[in-house]
Amino acid sequence: MGHAEKARDFIMDRDRTAWHDRALWFVRQKRDLAARSVPEWERLRESAARIKSHTLEHLAHYLELFEKNAIENGIEVYWASSAREHNLIVSSILEEEGATKVVKSKSMLTEECALNPWLESKGVEVTDTDLGERIVQLADDRPSHIVLPAIHLKKEDVSEIFARHLGTEPYNSDPKYLTRAARSHLRNKFLEADAAITGVNFALAEEGGIVVCTNEGNADLGSSLPNLHIACMGLEKVIPSKKELGVFTRLLARSATGQAITAYTSHFMKPAPGHRLCVVIVDNGRSALLASKHSSLLRCIRCGACMNTCPVYRRSGGHSYGTVVPGPIGSALAGARDMESHASLPSACTLCASCDNVCPVKIDLHRRINEEREESIEMDSFAAKRRILKIASFFMRHPVLYRFSLKATRVMLGILPKSIVYNRYNVWGRDRQMPIPAKKSFSDIYRSMR
Amino acid sequence: MRVALFVPCLVNDFYPEAALAALEVLQRQGLDVEYPSGQSCCGQPFVNNGMIKEASEFASRFVEIFADYDYVVSPSSSCTGTVRYRYEGLVDDDSYASIKDRVFELCEFLHDIVGVDRLDLGVSYSPVKRIGLHNSCHSLRELELASASELNIEPYSKVKAILSIIEGLEIVEASRDECCGFGGTFSVYEPDVSAMMGRDRIEDHLSNGVDMITGVDISCLMHMEGLARRDGVPIRFVHVSQVLAGRL
């Protein structure tokens, strides 16, 4: 099933789709207010884009600098070329420590690598500690948004999930009650855990430390108690030094949720005495992306603003993309990596470019998606569409034929019964009346005026 | 000053009244306006769908036809944007350099080249007309005819600046400056999302108590008109050139 079919299923429930659209538009508006509170906002975006571009241009240098300084700080650094290698590294570190209960804060990378099912197959219990992710995990569902993983679920859905898994009162969907229940449930998981896994928002090359941003403090709580903290990062997460960090922390939370800053911006600069801090740096296709024309996608700091503003995403839901990262950035990334499997995604976009305008690192998202269409149109599933466009191009380049075909259309629309015009192959006509060609085109009128 | 009128395919064949109104508005400014024959599509549907070979054929033809004019003016922001920003690489560098700064959307031309102070429309409405303005994506985020709501910049609108010189005209904008959901082939690749987006825009405008919607792009209007007609919503769609020419 392509994006359009999954979107259709989502939209079937009109009220829910309207609610989803409004909920995310509300976040977009909060973002606008937060952005307007910073007079130099647009300059800040420009700086962030430049810092990221610069770092990506000298990526090997900054990664090696990070590694050297991190090791000096007592951090262990591992390199993984693929998702599989990443998973093997993580599971072998856990094995060394005999860890079987892991608390994990949000990390899109571990989702990308499908770390949870891998660890579970090794007998490790993994608890996602971000509230949204925990809800989704309990429901055996998948995140539909990178910042708001359970945005596709309403509080009534959460009430049902918690009643089933955490034993809360059925039909009590009071958010405070449900959050408290999740809190005490997670508190036990934190206390029992023998290892923590977190993502990385920024790796500081000069200082050899990592920065993790959360709103719930779950990364800190998780990593403070156990002796082992494994932090997983894509290799694009490195920035030159803490001097540049402020540019990003000012942009990240404002773009993501409209907050001035995330509730917790935790700096992990070295392991606590007697503890292990391991950083796994993952490539998994990123070097190839860096070498491609879509390298700007590696600037992404995963704020989710492009999802909140995307008029398609808000009305089709995150699951319609069939990718770990949905929305404009997810479409663009998936298409750049593997067009064969994601051929419908470049077309799930009106090219409205609103995503470009909210992106804190100024990724030219709509242009990336547009350029990916050069590839997707060559896929087998697009053969019919390609043919129609080729025929259109032929007619448009032959004015006599074109004129004739329009006149014929006008006549046909006039005489054919509605049931034939609005047949099941007329996708335009499913929700819309057909526009009727004018009796005389402008060029005809102009000629007769002269 | 020789001005050429470029009439997009949709306007030419389905909404010729919009092109006639554009011609009238330009001529009223005392300009020597011509409609060069042999023009066809700018190539936008092909650029947008990644069909580069076809797109460059249309682009070369466009450059050839409009090479000798000082300005090319078009009642469409998306076609103007295609020529100005998307012809790079489709035609040779010299051709691109020569065309990109000479092509203008109608309101943009009136605002930037003719100038609001010197503009003569000779139109007023009585009783007062209240019209909804649909800011299309290409007009907002490609040609930057108005400030898009995402950006932290001083608000402005060239389209409203032009319309505001008409007496008896009240322009109201929707609460969201969001895409209408047309998106060219998007309208048929993603019919459900497209229709919902269009209906949401129409509803947004209706909540402002307007019975007429205008905009610089006929394609958005055609899509919303098709939905409104299907749903029996009594609202009219007119191109901005018709508002400027007083032909409502």
Closest residue on chain B to A347 (Cα): B186
Please write the tens of the pLDDT for every residue from A63-75. 999 999 999 999 9
> What domains, with CATH codes, occur in chain B?
2-113 (3.40.50), 122-245 (3.40.50)
Structure-block tokens of residue A132: 């949204």
Please write the tens of the pLDDT for every residue from B83-106. 999 999 999 999 999 999 999 999
> Residue type at B195?
A
A64's CB contacts (< 8 A; 6+ apart) are none
Tell me the chain B residues in contact with residue A433 when contact means C-beta distances shorter than 8 Å: 225-226, 229-230
A49–chain B nearest CA distance, Å: 16
A283–chain B nearest CA distance, Å: 29
pLDDT above 90: residue A365: yes
How would residue B164 be classed by pLDDT, with cut points 50, 70 and 90?
A: very high
**Residue A444 Cα to chain centre, angstroms:** 50
How would residue A405 be classed by pLDDT, with cut points 50, 70 and 90?
A: confident
A7: nearest CB among B51, B183, B192: B192
Contact between chains at B195 and A432 (C-beta distance less than 8 A): yes
A4: nearest CB among B23, B142, B190: B190
Q: Give the model's pLDDT for residue B90.
A: 96
CB-based burial label for A1 (10 Å; 0-12, 13-18, 19+): exposed
Structure-block tokens of residue B198: 């269009």
Q: How many CB atoms lie within 10 A of CB A433?
A: 18
């023998």: which residue's tokens? A194
**Which of A16, A320, A393 is the best residue to mutate to test the B interface, defined by the most B CB atoms within 10 Å of its own CB?**
A393
Q: Give the model's pLDDT for residue B27.
A: 97
Q: Give the model's pLDDT for residue B85.
A: 96
Share of chain A above pLDDT 70, in %: 100
pLDDT, mean of residues A200-208 = 98
Q: Give the model's pLDDT for residue A418.
A: 85
Q: Give the model's pLDDT for residue A419.
A: 84
Cβ distance A129 to A107 under 8 Å?
Answer: no
B193–chain A nearest CA distance, Å: 6
Please write the tens of the pLDDT for every residue from B58-83. 999 999 999 999 999 999 999 999 99
Please write the tens of the pLDDT for every residue from A348-357. 999 999 999 9
Cβ distance B119 to B165 under 8 Å?
Answer: yes
B133–chain A nearest CA distance, Å: 17
Q: Give the model's pLDDT for residue A412.
A: 83
CA angle B60, B66, B70 (to 5 degrees): 140
Please write the tens of the pLDDT for every residue from A112-169. 999 999 999 999 999 999 999 999 999 999 999 999 999 999 999 999 999 999 999 9
B204–chain A nearest CA distance, Å: 13
Report how far residue B129's alpha carbon sits from residue B162's, in angstroms, rounded to the nearest whole number. Answer: 16
Report how far residue A87's alpha carbon sits from residue A115's, in angstroms, rounded to the nearest whole number. Answer: 6
Contact between chains at B54 and A390 (C-beta distance less than 8 A): yes
CA angle A384, A388, A394 (to 5 degrees): 145
Q: How many CB atoms lie within 10 A of CB B201?
A: 26
pLDDT, mean of residues B153-169 = 97
CA angle B159, B163, B166 (to 5 degrees): 170
**Which of B196, B201, B236 is the best residue to mutate to test the A interface, defined by the most A CB atoms within 10 Å of its own CB?**
B196
B141: nearest CB among A25, A356, A445: A356
pLDDT above 80: residue A400: no
Contact between chains at A347 and B185 (C-beta distance less than 8 A): yes
Report how far residue A187's alpha carbon sits from residue A183's, in angstroms, rounded to the nearest whole number. Answer: 6
How would residue A201 be classed by pLDDT, with cut points 50, 70 and 90?
A: very high
Domain layout of chain A by residue ranges: 3-287, 398-449
What average pLDDT does the structure give for chain A?
Answer: 95
Question: Which of A179-188, A366-375, A400-409, B138-147 has the least mean pLDDT?
Answer: A400-409
φ, ψ (nearest 5 deg) of residue B156? -155, 160
Q: How many CB atoms lie within 10 A of CB A33?
A: 10
CATH number of A3-287: 3.40.50.10420
What average pLDDT does the structure give for chain B?
Answer: 96
Coil/strand/helix, residue B214: strand
Contact between chains at B187 and A428 (C-beta distance less than 8 A): yes
Cβ distance A38 to A254 under 8 Å?
Answer: yes
Cβ distance A105 to A198 under 8 Å?
Answer: yes
pTM of the complete model: 0.96
Report how far residue A191's alpha carbon sits from residue A144's, in angstroms, rounded to the nearest whole number. Answer: 29
Cβ distance A244 to A197 under 8 Å?
Answer: no
Q: Give the model's pLDDT for residue A159.
A: 98
CA angle B107, B112, B115 (to 5 degrees): 90
Structure-block tokens of residue A81: 């070329």
> Residue type at B177?
D
Q: Give the model's pLDDT for residue A203.
A: 98
Provide ipTM, 2 decimals: 0.96
3-state secondary structure chain A: CCHHHHHHHHHHCHHHHHHHHHHHHHHHHHHHHHHHCCCCHHHHHHHHHHHHHHHHHCHHHHHHHHHHHHHHCCCEEEEECCHHHHHHHHHHHHHHHCCCEEEECCCHHHHHCCHHHHHHHCCCEEEECCHHHHHHHHCCCCCCCCCCCCCCCCHHHHHHHHHHHCCCCCCCCCHHHHHHHHHHHHHHHHHHCCEEEECCCEEECCCCEEEEEECCCHHHHHHHCCCEEEEEEEHHHEECCHHHHHHHHHHHHHHHCCCCCCCEEEEECCCCCCCEEEEEEECCCHHHHHHCCCHHHHHCCCCCHHHHHCHHHHHHCHHHHCCCCCHHHHHHHHHHHCCHHHCCHHHCCCCCCHHHHHCCCCCCHHHHHHHHHHHHCCCHHHHHHHHHHHHHHHHHHCHHHHHHHHHHHHHHHHHCCHHHHCCCCCCHHHCCCCCCCCCCCHHHHHHHHC
Please write the tens of the pLDDT for every residue from A413-430. 888 888 888 888 889 999
